[in-house]
Structure 1
Amino acid sequence: MSAAVTTPEYPLFDTHCHFDFDAFAAQFADELALACQQGVQRILIPSIGRQNWQRVATLAADYPDHIYYALGYHPYFLASAGLNPLDDLEQALDARSSACVAVGEVGLDAMVDIDAKVQETLLLGQLALAQAAGLPVVLHSRKTHNRLLQLLKQTRFQGGGVLHAFSGSEQQARQFIDLGFKIGVGGGITYPRANKTRRTISALPLEHLVLETDAPDMPLCGYQGHNNHPCRLPLVLNELVLLRKEDKQTVASTVWKNSNLLFSICERIPTEM
């Protein structure tokens, strides 16, 4: 299946959207068409655990021109990971389709009631599986940037990936970049009060940035209280252009290229939507 829209002027890739969540389930084809109409031609759906692995894989199979997915355990949902989570993930990765382009959403979260050692053990195991599968990772980090950097360096993880929803310092961002990671730029930059993040994103090399919404979460400024949606990704692009004071075509084409390169996807946009 595909969404009926013409090729946009600026094709965009939402590299982090929980499009399988209930907020979009009732009219999924219409929700996807709405995103495509705004130029969002590709969407990566990161999973949160075994409970939605099949759902994200099915959506990618149903909409192969637009949907890609990642398999992994989100640190927030580790309580439901089961008795043999790494064995289960290894089996799922062995059976994955070509639309599975990453391991994720994985990482650390200092704000949830899950023991830090448990989180780290699962993260290390998932990094090892990603390395063995030759896949990048989609990293979640909340108040854990420095610890994540330590673990990535200790494990000598070589697969790269994207640091989702980055809100740290420029120094931290550059350390992740040095380890092969892209920096996920989302609705946070649309808030004028997010001075540190806005300064950091404006200073980083453009070739290391990708766009994301985290929909239905992380609403943009002006949309608080509403579910976020991938159709609002162009607003993130617009803000990025303003922050960097660069040509819109240059920014759009570069982040599109960055996203596809990161996930080893051909840049060509399907002509038949």
Structure 2
Amino acid sequence: MIDTLFFDAHTHHLPQPQTTAIVSCRMDEKTASSYLQAPFISVSLHPWYLTEENIQSQIDWLVQTIQSDSRIVALGEAGLDKVCDTPFDLQIQAFRKAIELSETYHLPLVIHSVKATEELFALHKKYHPAQAWIIHGFRGKKELATDLIRHGFYLSFGKKYQEKALSIVPADRLLLESDEADTDFPSFYRQVASLRGTSFDSLVENIKENANRLFFNR
């Protein structure tokens, strides 16, 4: 359970003061301080770093780490990216495996999605996941946010976002994150609370409730 003021749903850095954070780590980061010192981890199968040669070793590492490290509270980021150089069929193969592992080990799935919404919806329909699917770093428009929410997704917002999209997300589907950015969480929370027409304290409690339900209730 969260006992700090702020929650960071997805980051690549160690937590700031007063912040509980889930640090996303890939296999090639397993000796980095961010991985070794992180209190909570999401294990990554990122589409940018996939090759035919390393996909199986990455999957093997995911399984071994999930089974052996009690800090693991999520899987991802994983997903689909039509802009990167990784062959799309390889991305689909890896993402299907990430879905299966998410379901097997009862871990929320943190998703990196770029121009692949139709494929994402098709896979969600095919697998009918019991675990939460969370779009991290969501920057899309209100219409896409509405569509994702209708399909059961959660949305996690960082410093760059569309105001109309952030304003319409139901309170029980909302998360906030720093990702790669140097984020001042007190200011960020105040900004988001103002935009959504709620109080700072209400937003803090809302995010904590979502975080505890999704990540710390296993």
2:50 and 2:198 map into 1 onto residues whose CA distance is 41
The alpha-carbon deviation at position 265 of structure 1 amounts to: 5.0
In the other structure, the counterpart of 1:108 is 80
2:55 and 2:206 map into 1 onto residues whose CA distance is 42
1:104 and 1:57 map into 2 onto residues whose CA distance is 14
In the other structure, the counterpart of 1:222 is none
1:124 and 1:54 map into 2 onto residues whose CA distance is 27
CA deviation string 1:232-271 (max 9, x = no partner)? 12222122112112122111210121122210259xxxxx
1:53 and 1:176 map into 2 onto residues whose CA distance is 32
Amino acid in structure 1 at the alignment position of 2:96 = L
The alpha-carbon deviation at position 54 of structure 1 amounts to: 5.1
- Which structure carries more strand by proportion? 2
2:46 and 2:64 map into 1 onto residues whose CA distance is 18
CA RMSD of the aligned region, Å? 2.3
Relative to structure 1, the CA distance from residue 180 to residue 96 in structure 2 (aligned partners, 3 Å threshold; closer, same or farther) is: farther
Q: Secondary structure at the match of 1:13?
A: strand
Amino acid in structure 2 at the alignment position of 1:96 = D
Q: Secondary structure at the match of 1:141?
A: strand
Q: Secondary structure at the match of 1:79?
A: coil
The alpha-carbon deviation at position 80 of structure 1 amounts to: 8.4
Amino acid in structure 2 at the alignment position of 1:51 = D
2:31 and 2:211 map into 1 onto residues whose CA distance is 24
- Segments of 5+ residues of structure 1 without an aligned counterpart are 1-6, 21-31, 61-66, 190-196, 216-227, 267-273
Question: TM-score normalised to the size of structure 1?
Answer: 0.71
The alpha-carbon deviation at position 87 of structure 1 amounts to: 3.1
Amino acid in structure 1 at the alignment position of 2:62 = L
1:249 and 1:76 map into 2 onto residues whose CA distance is 37
Amino acid in structure 1 at the alignment position of 2:107 = L
In the other structure, the counterpart of 1:46 is 24
Relative to structure 1, the CA distance from residue 72 to residue 44 in structure 2 (aligned partners, 3 Å threshold; closer, same or farther) is: same
- Segments of 5+ residues of structure 2 without an aligned counterpart are none
In the other structure, the counterpart of 2:44 is 72
The alpha-carbon deviation at position 138 of structure 1 amounts to: 0.8
Name whichever of 251-260 and 122-131 sits farther off: 251-260
Consecutive aligned runs of 4 or more in structure 1 exceeding 6 Å deviation: none
Q: State whether residues 57 and 100 of structure 1, in contact with CA within 8 Å, keep that contact through their aligned partners in structure 2.
A: no
1:243 and 1:198 map into 2 onto residues whose CA distance is 7
1:81 and 1:18 map into 2 onto residues whose CA distance is 25
In the other structure, the counterpart of 2:213 is 261
2:185 and 2:148 map into 1 onto residues whose CA distance is 23
Query: Which residue of 224, 234, 258 corresponds with 2:186?
Result: 234
Which has more radius of gyration?
1
2:53 and 2:74 map into 1 onto residues whose CA distance is 19
Q: Secondary structure at the match of 2:40?
A: strand
The alpha-carbon deviation at position 173 of structure 1 amounts to: 2.4
1:129 and 1:123 map into 2 onto residues whose CA distance is 10
Identity percentage over the alignment?
A: 24
The alpha-carbon deviation at position 114 of structure 1 amounts to: 0.8
Amino acid in structure 2 at the alignment position of 1:43 = A
Question: TM-score normalised to the size of structure 2?
Answer: 0.88
Relative to structure 1, the CA distance from residue 176 to residue 103 in structure 2 (aligned partners, 3 Å threshold; closer, same or farther) is: same
Relative to structure 1, the CA distance from residue 80 to residue 102 in structure 2 (aligned partners, 3 Å threshold; closer, same or farther) is: farther
Name whichever of 117-126 and 170-179 sits farther off: 170-179
